[in-house]
Structure 1
C-alpha cells in the first residue's frame, strides 16, 4: 500500500482513539509528538480556551509550555503530571505517551486549578486508551522516517546521480505519486551561510515549504535535506510571495533560498539543482540581492559565482582596480565608479542615483582616473573595471 493511504488510515484511527480518550477523561485533549508538534486534538462542546486555540492553530506547543513539560520531567514520569498555570493560563494535566517503553508523545488537557488529585486518578480504560494512541504515534513516526528515507534516496539520485540513476528515480517519484507530473520542474535550495547548519531547522522548513511554495497547492512537491541544505523539487512554479513569507518566520531568519530555472522532463531536474545552488551562493555572498535569489535574474553573476571566490585576493584583480581599492578613499571611489558604469556612463543619471551634484560626480571620476591611471572613454577598460569590481564584491574584497 502506498504511503498516502497508510497515513490516512493512521490519522483516522488516531482521531477515533483521541476522541474516545477525551470522552473517557471528560475534557478536551491535545496530542503532541516528541517534538511538540500537534498531531491530533479532540472535539468538544464548550468554548475553547485561548491558549488551546493558539496551539491548535499554530500546530506547535508554545516554547514556554515545552519548557515546563521538560522542567516537570513529564517524559520520565510513569503517570500524568500536574503543571501549574503559565502566564495567567489554566493548570495542565500532561501525560507521557509510550510504545514499548519508548516516549512517542504527550497528551495534554487543561483542568480547573481547584481540581483535587483524586478526581484525576486514571483507570485501566484510560491507560489502555493512551497505550493505543502510543501504538499509532509510533507507527506514524516510523512511517514518517521511512518516507523521509525514501525521499532522500530518490531526490539525491535525481539531482546528484548518473543518467541511469536519474531515470530510475524520476520513474519511482512519478509512479509512486510523490511528485506531480507536469510540463517542467524547478528546484529550490534552502540553506544557511553558517558551516554548521541546523538539520532540525532545515527539516522543519522543508516540511512547511513542501506544502506552501508550489504555485498550485494541489501539485505535490518532493524534497530532502541533503548535505546541509533542503533541496525541493517543485512541479511547475514556485510562489515567491509564500516563500518570502515562510523565510520571514523568526525560526528561519538565518536561511536563504536559491531558485533554479524550469527544466523538463523530471530527469533534467539536476540542471535546476545546479542553478539553484549557484543562486543560493549569490544570496550568501551578496546580501544586497536579498535572501531569495533566482537563477533567471543573475545575469553575469551566473558565471562569476562559479569562480573560486574564496581563493581570490586583491592581487588577482586587474592593476587599476587594485590601485583604486588600495587608496584611502578607494571604497567610496569604487562605489562611485561602479554606479557610473551601472548607469551606462550617463553622468546625469549617476548623480541622481548617488544623490550628489554633477560637479561632485565629475570631481570623483577625475580622482578615479588619476588613482587608477585609466581612460574611462575606452570601452574595453570600462568592461574590465565593471567585471573586476563585481568580482571584488562577490569575493568580499571591498
Structure 2
C-alpha cells in the first residue's frame, strides 16, 4: 500500500477524515470523506501547512512526547481535535490530526491495535520521504554551490546536471536573489530556510517555471529563471519572521553557467541595503548606479582623513551635516536651484545662502564641473562609510 492508501484506511477505520503532517507541520496527505465540509480542515489543505495557532496547541499539549492520541480543545470557535504523533524507530516524523464532536467520550477515541499498526506504517513512509527529502536537499546544495562558487568547468557541469534533471527550468536568462541578515543580526539557519521556502512559493512571476534555492553559510540563495516580482519579495520581507533579512537582486544573465555573476551582483546589492538603509531592505543591482563600484570598496575601513579636503572641511564644520545635505540635494538635481529648493521645502534665497556657506567653508567653486563630480562622489562615499 502507498501513503494515500494507508491514510484512507486509517481514516475509514476511525470513521472520520484525517490530515497527515510531517514533523514541520507541512501537509503530506489527507483522506477523502463524504461528510459536510470542515472549513478549517479545507483551509489547512489548501495552504499546505498547519496554522500557527494549531502548531502552538500541539506543542502546548505535548503531542510529540505522547505515545498515543491527544485530545485538544476547540480553538477560536473550531472543533475539538485528536492529534496523534507518528514515529519511526523512536523518532518523531509527523502527526495525524482529525476533528471529533466536542461531547465524544474519551473512551471512544482510544486506538486499537489495527489503528496503531496503521499509524506505524504511515511512520515508515514518512521517514522514507524525509530521508529522500534530505538527500534531495543535500544534492541541491552541492549543485548550487558548485554552480555559484566553483571554477568555470565546475559551473558548466553543475548547470548541465541541473538542467538535465529538471531541477530548474530552461530559460533565456537567470537571476540570483540573496537573502541575508546584517552582520550584527542573530539570524539562525532555520529562519533562512523558512525564508527560502516561502520565497520559492510566493515570488514566482511565472509559476510554471521552476526555480531552485538553498542555504549557503549565512545566506539563502535563490536562482530563478524569470523576472523578479518586487512587490511579492517586499511583502515576504515585511513578514514578522523576516524583519532582520535584506534582499539583494542580481542582474539577469543569459546562461545558467554564468549565474555566479548574478550571485556576486546580488551580494553587492544586499550590502547596499545593509550599509545605506535609505535604499530600503530590497536592492536591485540594476538600480545601484555608481554604488556598483563604491560598494566593492572597503568603505568600512575609511576615516574622515581619506575624504577629499573640501569635504573634510565641510563635515567638520558645526553646521556641516545640514550643509552637506543641502549640497548633495543640489548636486542630485543637476545644480537646478528651483528643483532643489522644492525638494528641500525651502525658499531659493535660503538655498543660495546655504550654498554660499558651502563655498566659504569648503573653499570650492561650484561652477567647476570637476569639483562638483569630486564633491558628489565623496559625499556618497562618506554616506556608505558612515562618516556623515
- Whether TM exceeds 0.5 here: the answer is yes
Could you list the per-position Cα deviations for residues 277-298 of structure 1 after superposition, in whole angstroms to 9, with x for gaps in the alignment?
A: 1111111111222222111111
- The residue that corresponds to 2:293 in the other structure is 303
- The residue that corresponds to 2:336 in the other structure is 346
- The residue that corresponds to 1:98 in the other structure is 87
How far did residue 195 of structure 1 move? 4.3
1:283 correspondence with 2:282: no
Could you list the per-position Cα deviations for residues 173-207 of structure 1 after superposition, in whole angstroms to 9, with x for gaps in the alignment?
A: 11111111222211111112144332112112212
- The residue that corresponds to 1:369 in the other structure is 359
Alignment of 1:19-58 (within 5 A): 19-58=8-47
- The residue that corresponds to 2:200 in the other structure is 210
Alignment of 1:1-398 (within 5 A): 13-193=2-182, 194-398=184-388
Distance 1:334 1:18 in 2: 68
Q: Structure 2: where are the runs of 5+ without partners?
A: none
How far did residue 22 of structure 1 move? 1.6
How far did residue 217 of structure 1 move? 1.6
Q: Structure 1: where are the runs of 5+ without partners?
A: 1-11
- The residue that corresponds to 1:7 in the other structure is none
Distance 1:58 1:183 in 2: 31
Find the residue that maps to 1:261 and give its secondary structure: coil
How far did residue 56 of structure 1 move? 3.0
Q: What is the CA RMSD across the aligned residues, in angstroms?
A: 1.8
Distance 1:238 1:112 in 2: 47
How far did residue 31 of structure 1 move? 1.7
Could you list the per-position Cα deviations for residues 15-45 of structure 1 after superposition, in whole angstroms to 9, with x for gaps in the alignment?
A: 3322222221112222222122222222333
TM-score, normalised via structure 1 length: 0.92
Distance 1:306 1:154 in 2: 27
TM-score, normalised via structure 2 length: 0.94
Find the residue that maps to 1:181 and give its secondary structure: coil
Query: Does the 8 Å contact 1:214/1:235 carry over to 2?
Result: no
Query: Does the 8 Å contact 2:174/2:223 carry over to 1?
Result: yes
How far did residue 66 of structure 1 move? 2.2
Q: How many residues align?
A: 387
How far did residue 50 of structure 1 move? 4.4
